[in-house]
Amino acid sequence: MALRAPRRDRAVGLLGLTVRASVITLLAALGLAASTVTASAADCTFTFQTNGTYLTVCPGAPGGTQPPPAPGGSAAPSCDLNTPALEAGAQVYCVGTTACYDSTSVATLRSPDTAPPTPDATWHTQVCLGKSTWTGTTVWDGQAPPPTLAEQATEAIGKIVLPTPTLRFNPTNRTLVNLSTWFWAEDLSTKVLQGSSAFGLIAYATPVGLEVNPGDGSGPFPCAWVTTESDSCAYRYRRSSLGGSALGLNGRPAYPATATATWKLTFENHGDPIPAPAGAPSQLHSDATGSAVVVDEVQTIVTSTG
């Protein structure tokens, strides 16, 4: 069945709404002053709504909807319900810790990217406040509350595409016992990677460093983020690779050296930095990449020339 047009009457507008204004300018334009809900949780009332949220009403604050309070937990609103909307009379509600409201003046000419909850579902524009920026997106009418921040973080992290590094070393054909062998990982960059959920949470992956295992049984060691040939990541083998489990140049026994790249994870929700949601990892690691390193031992004889 084809999707119906939105139920609300709206003027023809943009596909989405992004209004950029500082909070100070916004307050001045609306003639409103910032205030804070001072009522205790006990002063607030909660009325269950058909969409699975609660209508929150506190003394001195506009109403808002948010997920029902956890058993035994605080019933206080999870965001500032006194946040002034861009549209007069709009009811501000909480989506997690973010203040949002439903727009009645912007036409939604395209349905949300997510699947409709029912075949004939309609949609509307939901406007949420990020860092001094109101951003509008289309959401389905009557849809269930959005996923938790932890669930959104999992989705956002899953959309980060990590490159697989290629481990290189020098000397290339063979190295020698006690000779400094340089390692680096090609096909990496210093670019910060990112992935986002459908609800505004963004995960950022910032390069941290490499972990190199020389393959001789000594175990891995940390290195800087080295993507070109340099001595920033060096190792000295203590014995030849005669009994190594890998095959190097010309089928010679070699050590199976490997490297893994690491990125640090940080998060933003609607443009505001937030701590890592519960259960979210703090780092991401690439798949291990390997190279066979042939190590020879050279015998020397030192004679006196005096």
The pLDDT-based confidence of 64 (bands split at 50, 70, 90) is very low
The pLDDT-based confidence of 302 (bands split at 50, 70, 90) is low
Whether 145 has a pLDDT exceeding 80, the answer reads no
Residue after which a domain boundary falls, among 117, 146, 175: 146
What does the pLDDT read at residue 288? Answer: 94
Whether 9 has a pLDDT exceeding 50, the answer reads no
Q: Quote the CA–CA distance of 281 and 119 in Å, as a whole number.
A: 37
The answer on 142 and 162 residing in a single domain is no
Whether 203 has a pLDDT exceeding 60, the answer reads yes
Nearest Cα to Cα of residue 291 among 215, 219, 221: 215
The answer on 292 and 165 residing in a single domain is yes
Q: Quote the CA–CA distance of 246 and 291 in Å, as a whole number.
A: 9
What does the pLDDT read at residue 291? Answer: 95
Count up the domains in the chain and report the number. Answer: 2
CB 64 within 8 A of CB 56: yes
The answer on 110 and 24 residing in a single domain is yes
Residue after which a domain boundary falls, among 91, 112, 146: 146
Residue after which a domain boundary falls, among 82, 117, 146: 146
Q: What is the DSSP string of 35-57?
A: ------GGG-EEEE-TTS-EEEE
On whether residue 111 sits in a domain, the answer given is: yes
The answer on 291 and 161 residing in a single domain is yes
The answer on 120 and 198 residing in a single domain is no
The answer on 36 and 134 residing in a single domain is yes
Look at 176-180, 200-204, 301-305 and tell me which has the smallest mean pLDDT. 301-305
On whether residue 151 sits in a domain, the answer given is: no
On whether residue 6 sits in a domain, the answer given is: no
In our burial notation (b when 16+ CB lie closer than 10 A, e otherwise), range 155-168 reads: bbbeebeeeebebb
Look at 153-162, 255-264, 296-305 and tell me which has the smallest mean pLDDT. 296-305
On whether residue 256 sits in a domain, the answer given is: yes
What does the pLDDT read at residue 167? Answer: 96
* Average pLDDT score, the chain: 75
The answer on 286 and 171 residing in a single domain is yes
The pLDDT-based confidence of 99 (bands split at 50, 70, 90) is confident
For the segment 222-241, the average pLDDT, to the nearest whole number, is: 96
Q: What is the CATH number of the domain that holds 252?
A: 2.60.40.10
The answer on 288 and 174 residing in a single domain is yes
On whether residue 306 sits in a domain, the answer given is: no
Please state the pTM of the whole predicted model.
Answer: 0.55
Residue with tokens 């983020």: 225
What does the pLDDT read at residue 34? Answer: 27
What does the pLDDT read at residue 55? Answer: 47
The answer on 97 and 43 residing in a single domain is yes
Whether 256 has a pLDDT exceeding 50, the answer reads yes
On whether residue 7 sits in a domain, the answer given is: no
Whether 304 has a pLDDT exceeding 90, the answer reads no
The answer on 100 and 55 residing in a single domain is yes
List the domain range (segments joined by +) for residue 69: 17-146
Burial class (CB in 10 A: 0-12, 13-18, 19+), 234: middle
For the segment 82-95, the average pLDDT, to the nearest whole number, is: 81
Q: Identify the bridge partners of residue 284 per DSSP, sorted by sequence position.
A: 263
The answer on 108 and 176 residing in a single domain is no
For the segment 94-104, the average pLDDT, to the nearest whole number, is: 83
Whether 7 has a pLDDT exceeding 80, the answer reads no
What does the pLDDT read at residue 221? Answer: 97
What does the pLDDT read at residue 217? Answer: 96
Rg (CA), the chain: 29
Q: What angle do CA 182, 183, 189 make, to 5 degrees?
A: 130
The pLDDT-based confidence of 122 (bands split at 50, 70, 90) is confident
For the segment 167-186, the average pLDDT, to the nearest whole number, is: 95
Whether 136 has a pLDDT exceeding 90, the answer reads no
Q: Quote the CA–CA distance of 200 and 15 in Å, as a whole number.
A: 17
Q: Which two tokens stand for residue 293?
A: 């390193």
Nearest Cα to Cα of residue 221 among 208, 211, 233, 209: 211
What does the pLDDT read at residue 83? Answer: 81
On whether residue 2 sits in a domain, the answer given is: no
The answer on 286 and 205 residing in a single domain is yes
Q: Provide CB contacts within 8 A for 100, sequence distance 6+.
A: 92, 93, 94, 126, 127, 128, 129
On whether residue 213 sits in a domain, the answer given is: yes
